[in-house]
C-alpha cells in the first residue's frame, strides 16, 4: 500500500528474536564508560559478570545516560528479582530493556536501515517522503498502523507517530519480544 515490502519475514537475522534478554541501568553520568560499566557489573554480580555483555549507552534526557547490558537466559531469572545496582556510592535502578529494531528509512519494525530495500524514505512522524529531521508537519500519522490496517482490514488508530510507543503495532512487537524472553527463560 504505502511502502514496498522491504524484507521477507523469517529470511534475515534482523527478523529473528533479538537474542538474550537485555537490561537497562538508569541514571549514570555521561562520562561513564563501557569499561566502568563492565567493572561495576563485575563488582555487583561476581563470577556471573563474565556472562554479562555491556552493549551501549542511550541518552536519558536529563543529562544522564542509561547503559544497556545483555545476559544469558539462565542468569535472567536471578536478575529479575533485583531492582537496584550499586555503582560506587550510588544506587541505580535497573530493569529489563525491551526494544524493537526499527528501520529509520521505511519505519518497519522488521529490520534496520542497513537491510532496507524500500525505494523511498518515510518520515517516522507524518509518513511523508522525507527524513524525520526534516519534518514540519504537526499531524502525526503512523505508517505501520496504516499498512497493517490496509493488509488486515483492521482499524488501529493511526493518529500517532510510528516512533511513538503508543503505536499499536510497536506495542504488539514489544509484547512479542517480552513473550519470547519469558518463554526462553522457562
For residue range 109-132, list pLDDT tens digits in order. 888 888 999 999 999 999 999 999
Cα(56)–Cα(45) distance, rounded to whole angstroms? 19
Span 35-56, pLDDT tens digits: 999 998 888 877 766 788 999 9
How many whole angstroms separate alpha carbon 179 and alpha carbon 158?
25
Please write down the HEC assignment for all residues of 77-100: HHHHCCCEEEECCEEEEEEECCCC
Confidence band, pLDDT 50/70/90 cuts, at residue 5: very low
> Per the structure block, which three cell numbers stand in for 118?
524500500
Where residue 146 falls among pLDDT bands split at 50, 70, 90?
very high
pTM (predicted TM-score) = 0.65
pLDDT at 49: 67
Q: Which residue segments constitute the domains of the chain, with CATH numbers given?
A: 22-96 (3.30.70), 113-181 (no CATH)
Share of the chain above pLDDT 70, in %: 85
Amino acid at each position: 500500500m504505502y511502502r514496498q515490502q522491504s524484507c521477507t519475514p523469517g529470511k534475515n537475522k534482523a527478523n529473528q528474536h533479538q537474542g538474550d534478554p537485555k537490561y537497562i541501568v538508569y541514571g549514570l553520568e555521561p562520562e561513564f564508560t563501557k569499561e566502568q560499566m563492565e567493572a561495576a557489573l563485575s563488582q555487583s554480580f561476581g563470577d556471573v559478570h563474565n556472562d554479562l555483555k555491556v552493549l551501549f549507552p542511550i541518552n536519558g534526557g536529563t543529562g544522564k545516560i542509561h547503559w544497556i547490558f545483555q545476559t544469558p537466559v539462565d542468569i535472567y531469572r536471578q536478575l529479575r528479582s533485583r531492582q537496584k545496582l550499586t555503582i560506587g556510592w550510588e544506587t541505580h535502578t535497573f530493569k529489563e530493556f525491551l526494544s524493537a529494531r526499527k528501520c529509520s528509512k521505511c519505519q518497519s519494525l522488521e529490520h534496520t536501515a542497513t537491510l532496507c530495500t524500500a525505494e523511498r524514505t518515510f518520515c517516522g512522524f507524518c509518513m511523508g517522503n522525507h527524513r524525520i529531521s526534516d519534518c514540519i508537519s504537526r499531524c502525526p500519522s503512523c505508517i505501520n498502523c496504516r499498512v497493517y490496517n490496509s493488509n488486515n482490514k483492521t482499524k488501529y488508530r493511526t493518529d500517532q507517530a510510528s516512533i511513538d510507543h503508543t503505536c499499536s503495532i510497536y506495542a504488539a512487537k514489544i509484547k512479542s519480544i517480552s513473550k519470547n524472553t519469558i518463554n526462553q527463560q522457562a
